Amino acid sequence: MLLDDDASSDDEYADLDWDNLGFSIKPADYMYTMKCSKHENFKQGQLSRYANIELSPSAAVLNYGQGVYEGTKAYRTEDGRILLFRPDLNASRMKIGAERMCMPSPSVDQFVDAVKQIALANKRWVPPPGKGTLYIRPLLIGSGPVLGLGPAPEYTFLAYASPVGNYFKEGSAPLNLYIEEEFVRAAPGGAGGVKAMSNYAPVLKALIRAKSRGFSDVLYLDSVNRKNVEEVSSCNIFVVKGNVISTPATNGTILEGITRRSVIEIARDYGYQVEERVIPVDELINADQVFCTGTAVVVAPVGSITYQNKRVEFKTGSRSVYQELYSTLVGIQTGVIEDKKGWTVEV
């Protein structure tokens, strides 16, 4: 559903410096909104111009953090098509997160349709091939008013978009991670395994401190023993030793990343042995290669990890495992490699 003629100026690009996008908000023209009351189902949503929204000061999301979000991307192919990558998995993950946070959620079809509409309405904001992607951010919030602790009486699903380049300021250069020993990201029985909004602000303290010391991001350890690797602030982590690629198992404290899942499948296709298990930090330190995965970061090489004031460096470069996996993943996402898995959805 488009609102006016300029909502889909098919062959025009927005007036942006496509060579220097970075990863910051540049709101595309349109957002999508859908509402429902508690114990009801979401109905048909609608597109509107990107604008501020109105919320009660007592909205559950403002007072108690009742909200989840997702992140997915639209890609422009060399022949001008717009592709989405596995949006059904984002929809399913939002449903799981919503259930954990006692919220109704859109159906998978409603979610995918909303993402398609956002990509189409904001087509001129999808960067040229090789220049970036259109990052689409769906939100599900408790928008109704509450005072005592409890689920909101009303919920709002929102989706907006922004063109983006590389997530890290290093661009495609290897990351330098810092292993955090004071703060933890998640604990057993908590909500670390879902994309709850309330999971993210608590990592800022450690992240800002690490960045002030020159590191790219923080790698967290488990909260019980403080000796097993969990995940980075905004992405999953993989460890390479010989022909074996290992990543921490998603046991309730680690987010089940969609890029993570896709990379595991691609790696197995290439003949690597992929293990999802507990990874002691000592094993990480002795790895041949390390890389991170996520919608925002894609597949990013790790050049070094600092733990207890000791810096360990890892192999990176053109013959690295991450490069092979990155090239295949991005090739499928951008239509350069034939999608034999049914992962992409054309808008």
In this predicted model, what pLDDT tens digit does every residue of 189-234 receive, in sequence order?
999 999 999 999 999 999 999 999 999 999 999 999 999 999 999 8
Q: What is the pLDDT of residue 11?
A: 57
- Nearest CA among 27, 59, 206 for reference residue 134: 27
Q: How far apart are CA 248 and CA 257, in angstroms?
A: 11
pLDDT band at 5 (very low <50, low <70, confident <90, very high): very low
- pLDDT > 70 fraction of the chain, expressed in percent and rounded: 97
Residues 6 or more apart whose Cβ sits within 8 Å of residue 70: 90, 91, 93, 94, 137, 138, 139, 195
Amino acid at 178: Y
- Nearest CA among 172, 195, 167, 161 for reference residue 75: 161
Residues written for the chain: 347
Dihedral angle sign, alpha carbons of residues 207, 208, 209, 215: positive
Q: How far apart are CA 54 and CA 51, in angstroms?
A: 10
Q: What share of the chain is helix, strand, coil (3-state, %, to 5)?
A: 25, 30, 45
Q: What is the pLDDT of residue 42?
A: 97
pLDDT band at 341 (very low <50, low <70, confident <90, very high): very high
Q: What is the pLDDT of residue 273?
A: 98
Q: How far apart are CA 66 and CA 71, in angstroms?
A: 18
Q: How far apart are CA 159 and CA 140, in angstroms?
A: 9
The answer, yes or no, to whether residue 171 has pLDDT greater than 80, is no
Q: How far apart are CA 202 and CA 120, in angstroms?
A: 35
Amino acid at 306: T
In the block, residue with structure tokens 């919608």:
295
In this structure, what are the phi and psi dihedrals at residue 229, rounded to the nearest 5 degrees?
-70, 140
List the catalytic residues: 195
The answer, yes or no, to whether residue 8 has pLDDT greater than 70, is no
CB 30 within 8 A of CB 50: yes
pLDDT band at 10 (very low <50, low <70, confident <90, very high): low
In whole numbers, what is the pLDDT of the chain averaged over residues? 95
Q: How far apart are CA 126 and CA 131, in angstroms?
A: 9
Mean of the pLDDT values across residues 117-135? 97
Give the H or E element holding residue 139.
Answer: strand 133-142
The answer, yes or no, to whether residue 6 has pLDDT greater than 80, is no
| pLDDT single digits (tens) 63-105 | 999 999 999 999 999 999 999 999 999 999 999 999 999 999 9
Mean of the pLDDT values across residues 17-43? 95
Q: What is the pLDDT of residue 319?
A: 85
Please, what's the b/e burial string for 126-150 (b: 16 or more CB within 10 A of its CB; e: otherwise)?
bbeeebbbbbbbbbbbbbbbbeeee
Please, what's the b/e burial string for 23-57 (b: 16 or more CB within 10 A of its CB; e: otherwise)?
beeeebbbbbbbebeeeeebeebebeeeeeeeeee
**pTM attached to this predicted model:** 0.95
